[in-house]
Chain A
Amino acid sequence: MASQLTLSIVTPEREIVRAQVDEVELPGAEGYFGVLPGHTPMLATLTVGRLTYRAGQESQVLAIAFGFAEVLPDTVTVLAQMAERAEDIDLSRAETARQRAEARLAHPDSDLDYARARTALDKAILRVQVASRARAR
């Protein structure tokens, strides 16, 4: 049995992370789930959320949104539409995006695409959370 997982996170633009890790936690469409080495093969869809991975004592947080995760006993491949490391997020920009999204939802005009606005808000909130948590540490 493998003692570690090879985690690779790819977005359409590039590969964001490739690392040997001990544990991964993913935002599945049906709730967060954790993966340890030796997991049963699994394919899961992902939603907007935090991805946490731990290598030894070091743990890292990423904001990811939509995509799939392919889990094999010794590898986890995440295909995400968006993935950002906490340190790459511009906190002030995320904050303004959040306010904009909130304002749009608070005063809906007729041609507002509700689902899309909601997703934008979710993403913005997530970015703010992930980024501010990284700063706090």
Chain B
Amino acid sequence: MPSLIDIRRRVRAVKSTQQITKAMKMVAASKLRRAQERVVGARPYAQQMLRVLNSLAARVDPEAHPLLRESEGRPGAPPLLVVISADKGLCGSFNTNVTKQAALFVQDTPDRQVAMALVGRKGRDFFLRRRVDVRYEVVNLFQHVKLAHAQEIARTATEAFTEGRVGSVYLLYNEFKSAMSQKVVLERLLPIPRLSVENGGLIGPQVDYLYEPSAEEILTSVVPRHVEIQVYRALLESAAAEHAARMTAMDAATRNAQEMVDKLTLYMNKVRQAAITREIIEVVSGAQAL
């Protein structure tokens, strides 16, 4: 039977762990709120952008722009997978889900030739240990996601695509569904899927615009911007999802710690009771012997 002091020490250890997880949960919750605001704030821009792109695509031959063109047989060019993970752990299965999906993607690709762009420390560490063709990596950006980060990622991907080094570009990230659930999604970034261009959904009747300068010129400036925004949105979604995942994970950890404390306390009381009882018996039987 463990001594009273040992159990008491364990209770104290569990309690201090619990304090940490509780604090982390609170921090994650407040960060989540801010991240969520940013996701919502970025939405109108993305929607308007899509509308403009739609109205342009109806007017201009999509084949005119290299980023809209369906792959024109680039023999041997692997797809580029942009994997967005977190910089930190302690957020449940958040990172594992992404890396698992990424591994599946590689398995499904013929020849298993996939070029990777790794965003976030956890994903990078995972794939650097495996022999993967890493074209690009960036870490430590989730402290504060800036548009400049997205622009750099978008530029790298676009360059690789237009120069024919990769045949297509995919984005893999955790989508923020709600504070309780995240979902790993895979989206094709380049060439820009025809579906999202043509049936953007919300558009009403087509408007006949004047273009200044020409429609083609506007298209060439809208399309790269659209790619940037897609990446930016994915980064923001992932950041919000990360905080949500951490909050849930830390909440569970705090509850588990509480359960453990309760169990240990009960046990400790039993041990103490047993010790007291034993002492009484000793005293009583000592008195009887006299």
A positions within 8 Å CB-CB of B = 8, 10-15, 28-30, 33, 40-45, 67-68, 70, 72, 77, 79, 81
Contacts and interface: CB of A to CB of B under 8 A. Distances in A.
Interface residues of B, number: 27
A13 B147 contact: yes
A44 B221 CA distance: 11
Interface of A, secondary structure class, is strand
A68 B210 CA distance: 13
B207 A12 contact: no
A47 B4 CA distance: 75
Contacts, number: 69
Interface of B, secondary structure class, is helix
Nearest to B49: A79
Given A10-B45, A11-B45, A15-B41, A45 B52 contact: no
Contacts of B56: 43
A12 B45 contact: yes
B209 A43 contact: yes
20 contacts: A12-B232, A13-B38, A13-B41, A15-B44, A29-B213, A30-B213, A42-B209, A42-B210, A43-B56, A43-B209, A43-B211, A43-B215, A45-B218, A45-B221, A68-B52, A68-B221, A68-B222, A70-B48, A70-B52, A79-B49
B229 interface: yes
Interface of B: 38, 41-42, 44-45, 48-49, 51-52, 55-56, 147, 207-213, 215, 217-218, 221-222, 225, 229, 232
Given A41-B207, A43-B210, A10 B48 contact: yes
Contacts of B42: 12-14
Contact of A10 (B44, B210, B221): B44
Given A12-B42, A12-B229, A13-B38, A45 B212 contact: yes
Contact of B55 (A10, A29, A43): A43
B284 to A, nearest CB: 77
Contacts of B38: 13-14
A28 B213 CA distance: 9
Nearest to A29: B213
A52 B211 CA distance: 21
A41 B212 contact: no
Contact of A30 (B45, B212, B221): B212
Contact of A79 (B45, B207, B208, B217): B45
A43 to B, nearest CB: 5
Contacts of B222: 68
Contact of B212 (A28, A72, A81): A28
Contacts of A40: 210
B93 to A, nearest CB: 30
The residue in B51, B211, B212 that gathers the most chain A C-beta atoms within 10 A of its C-beta is B212
A7 to B, nearest CB: 13
Nearest to A70: B52
Given A11-B45, A41-B207, A41-B210, 5 more contacts: A13-B38, A43-B210, A68-B222, A70-B52, A79-B49
A13 B209 CA distance: 27
A67 B218 CA distance: 10
